[in-house]
């Protein structure tokens, strides 16, 4: 790596190349089996081969590329990808595969978050209950003011806390995937300009049910949140993840 490259935003150069290269793979512009040559990619991105190799190593850890004997580094087939990696999710949401990614994430959330809410109603700590209520209060404030960035942060905090409150480490580990779909819907204008008051009320219902130790009510309210989110997306785009 050259001195000039080191000077450019510290690790920013490597992160930029990783983002651009990852998006090309996840978006399908670089197809499975295609050989990645460091010199060609370095010329394409205007960086050294060292920077490219560093980015490729990260992509290999995600399963997006693989080293093949006598061939070199090639784009891996989709079934080898770590599809739960938040960066892979973000790249897919940013590319032509967005609809299929949204459908997959919607189905994943429908299978996980209602169960997480039920478990949280039994296992959540007083601190986690307080965090859920605090996140809902922030959502209400920022929803009224129209501060979508702050609203998103509060929404992500709510769902992250709920997954952790399930007391199941494998459920909690999905927080990055859920956070990315929430961020992606905002980033790609797939939600209303102002959050629906009903959506905030449903989050409050979940928080109340968890705090009161009511698993049935928590699960039901969480399912309604997911239905409402799908309806809100359909109202904006004319479609929904379930449309395929």
Domains of the chain (ranges plus CATH)? 3-79 (1.10.10.10), 86-243 (1.20.120.530)
What is d(CA 80, CA 78) in angstroms, rounded to the nearest whole number? 5
C-beta separation of 123 from 167 below 8 A: yes
Q: What is the pLDDT of residue 231?
A: 84
Half-sphere exposure of 22 (CA within 13 A, CB side): 28
What is d(CA 132, CA 141) in angstroms, rounded to the nearest whole number? 14
Q: What is the pLDDT along the chain (244 residues), one digit of tens a residue?
A: 333 333 343 458 889 999 999 999 999 999 999 999 999 999 999 999 999 999 999 999 999 999 888 888 999 999 999 999 999 999 999 999 898 999 899 999 999 999 999 999 999 999 999 999 999 999 999 999 999 999 999 999 999 999 999 999 999 999 999 999 999 988 988 888 889 899 999 999 999 999 999 999 999 999 999 999 888 777 766 654 544 3
Q: What is the pLDDT of residue 236?
A: 66
Residues near 49 by beta carbon (within 8 Å), at least 6 away in sequence: 38, 39, 42
DSSP 11: T
Closest Cα partner for 94 from 150, 26, 153, 174?
26
C-beta separation of 82 from 58 below 8 A: no
Q: What is the pLDDT of residue 238?
A: 61
Half-sphere exposure of 11 (CA within 13 A, CB side): 5
Q: Work out the angle at residue 52's Cα, subtended by the Cα atoms of residues 47 and 53, and round it to the nearest 5 degrees.
A: 145
Q: What is the pLDDT of residue 69?
A: 82
Q: What is the pLDDT of residue 109?
A: 95
Closest Cα partner for 19 from 91, 96, 102?
91
Residues near 100 by beta carbon (within 8 Å), at least 6 away in sequence: 92, 244
Q: What is the pLDDT of residue 169?
A: 97
């Amino acid at each position: 790596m050259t001195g000039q490259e080191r000077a450019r935003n510290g690790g920013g150069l490597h992160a930029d190349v990783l983002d651009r290269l990852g998006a090309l793979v996840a978006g399908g512009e670089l197809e499975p089996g295609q050989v990645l040559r460091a010199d060609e990619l370095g010329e394409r991105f205007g960086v050294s081969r060292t920077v490219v190799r560093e980015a490729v190593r990260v992509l290999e850890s995600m399963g997006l590329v693989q080293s093949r004997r006598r061939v070199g580094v090639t784009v891996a087939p989709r079934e080898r990808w770590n599809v739960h990696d938040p960066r892979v999710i973000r790249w897919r949401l940013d590319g032509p595969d967005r609809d299929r990614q949204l459908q997959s994430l919607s189905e994943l959330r429908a299978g996980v978050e209602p169960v997480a809410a039920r478990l949280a109603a039994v296992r959540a700590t007083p601190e986690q209950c307080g965090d859920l209520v605090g996140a809902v209060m922030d959502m209400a404030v920022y929803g009224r003011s129209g501060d979508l960035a702050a609203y998103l942060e509060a929404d992500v905090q709510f769902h992250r806390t709920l997954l952790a409150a399930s007391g199941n480490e494998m459920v909690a580990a999905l927080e990055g995937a859920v956070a990315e779909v929430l961020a992606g819907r905002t980033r790609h204008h797939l939600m209303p300009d102002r959050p629906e008051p009903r959506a905030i009320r449903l989050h409050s219902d979940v928080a109340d049910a968890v705090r009161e130790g009511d698993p049935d009510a928590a699960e039901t309210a969480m399912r309604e949140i997911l239905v409402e989110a799908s309806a809100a997306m359909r109202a904006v785009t004319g479609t929904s993840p379930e449309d395929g």
